[in-house]
């Protein structure tokens, strides 16, 4: 038995070592059992399923605003990636932005740029700059491939370390559940959506993206204060789930605010 345990442990170490790749934007090595192409492929089907089973809002002032803010951020991201010589990192991205009628204070972005904002978060964002904070943050999660990182961890936890293709073949529903939990689409109990370090990373790059799109990054401090107060009501599926403490988040944002304003913000 001891030899079996040692062999399994060694195999896990080897799998993790082989599967670690450096993210082009963050520069950090990540566990990557889920290739971006496979994550995007699964995202297409899961996104379609989500839209078919939820009420998409079209034609209203809020829906138009969500698309406008999202498109400005996407344009800024494309330009930034082009300037950095990283346009290939956006291969496969077919951006789509929707507002969904749901009282949850939530938003997310799947691999490939599939973005959903819930109506429940709009009273907290209050304005376009506040909405840009949320959308920039969620898009940053996707571009930093935090979801794929979390999904890889989830596959390992479930003994599905051979990769997503085999996991989908053997346990399709479990794999889809891990996907949804990993990208913040469902609260679930498989695993928390994102770690604290992932959240702070998404804050940093999300702030940069929203500033590049012409939105005042200082609104981030006001938004997270409002969000913190609203989350005190006990919403268990809010955007703050598993996130850093208010003090930690505010301190991190305040630290990077001057350089973000100086280097990236141009008032539109």
DSSP string, 200-231: HHHHHHHHHHHHHTT--TTHHHHHHHHHHHHH
With 0-12 / 13-18 / 19 or more C-beta atoms within 10 angstroms meaning exposed / middle / buried, residue 82 is: exposed
Q: Which residues pair with 107 in a beta bridge?
A: 117
Please give the pLDDT value at position 34. 79
Active site residues: 138
In a domain, 161, yes or no: yes
Token readout for 1 is 């038995």
DSSP per-residue letters across 148-186: HHHHHHHHHHTT-TT-HHHHHHH-HHHHHHHHHHHTTS-
- Structurally, the chain folds into a number of domains equal to 1
What does the pLDDT read at residue 1?
A: 47
Ordered per-residue pLDDT tens for the chain, 268 residues: 444 433 333 334 334 434 556 666 777 776 777 788 888 998 999 999 999 999 999 999 999 999 999 999 999 999 999 999 999 999 999 999 999 999 999 999 999 999 999 999 999 999 999 999 999 999 999 999 888 888 777 777 777 666 677 777 778 888 788 888 877 786 544 555 567 888 899 999 999 999 999 999 999 999 999 988 887 644 444 455 556 777 888 899 999 999 999 999 987 6
Cα dihedral 39, 88, 133, 253 sign: positive
Answer yes or no: are the C-beta atoms of 253 and 207 closer than 8 Å.
Answer: yes
Show the domain range for 217.
Answer: 34-224+239-264
In a domain? residue 17:
no
Side-chain-side CA neighbours of 50 within 13 Å: the count stands at 29
Residue 231 lies in a domain: no
Residue 139 belongs to a domain: yes
Q: Is residue 252 part of a domain?
A: yes
- The answer as to whether 46 is a domain residue is yes
Spatial distance between the Cα atoms of 121 and 268, rounded to a whole number of angstroms = 24
Gap between the Cα atoms of 201 and 145, Å rounded: 11
Q: Helix crossing, 146-157 with 128-143: angle to 10°?
A: 50
Cα 127 versus chain centre, distance: 21
Burial 201-236 (b: 16+ CB within 10 A, else e): bbbbbbbbbbbbbbbbbbbbeebbeebbebbeeebe
The pTM is what? 0.82
**Residue 226 and residue 228: Cα distance in Å, rounded?**
5
d(CA 24, CA 4): 37
Residue 212 covered by a domain = yes
The verdict on residue 27 lying in a domain is no
Q: How far apart are CA 152 and CA 30, in angstroms?
A: 9
């Amino acid at each position: 038995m001891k030899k079996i345990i040692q062999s399994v442990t060694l195999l896990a170490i080897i799998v993790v070592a082989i599967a670690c790749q450096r993210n082009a934007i963050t520069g950090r090595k990540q566990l990557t059992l889920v290739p971006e192409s496979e994550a995007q492929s699964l995202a297409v089907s899961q996104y379609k399923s989500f839209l078919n089973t939820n009420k998409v809002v079209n034609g209203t002032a809020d829906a138009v605003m969500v698309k406008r803010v999202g498109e400005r951020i996407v344009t800024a991201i494309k330009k930034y990636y082009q300037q950095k010589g990283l346009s290939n990192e956006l291969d496969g991205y077919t951006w789509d932005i929707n507002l969904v009628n749901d009282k949850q204070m939530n938003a997310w972005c799947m691999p490939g740029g599939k973005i959903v904002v819930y109506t429940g978060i709009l009273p907290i964002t209050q304005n376009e700059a506040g909405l840009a904070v949320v959308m920039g943050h969620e898009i940053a999660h996707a571009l930093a491939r935090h979801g794929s990182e979390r999904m890889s961890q989830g596959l390992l936890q479930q003994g599905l370390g051979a990769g997503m293709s085999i996991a989908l073949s053997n346990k399709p529903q479990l794999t889809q559940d891990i996907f949804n939990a990993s990208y913040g689409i469902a609260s679930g109990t498989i695993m928390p959506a994102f770690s604290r370090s992932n959240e702070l990373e998404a804050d940093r790059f999300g702030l940069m993206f929203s500033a590049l799109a012409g939105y005042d990054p200082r609104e981030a401090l006001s938004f997270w204060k409002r969000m913190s107060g609203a989350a005190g009501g006990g919403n268990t599926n809010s955007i703050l789930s598993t996130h850093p403490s208010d003090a930690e988040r505010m301190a991190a944002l305040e630290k990077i605010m001057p350089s973000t304003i100086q280097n990236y913000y141009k008032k539109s």
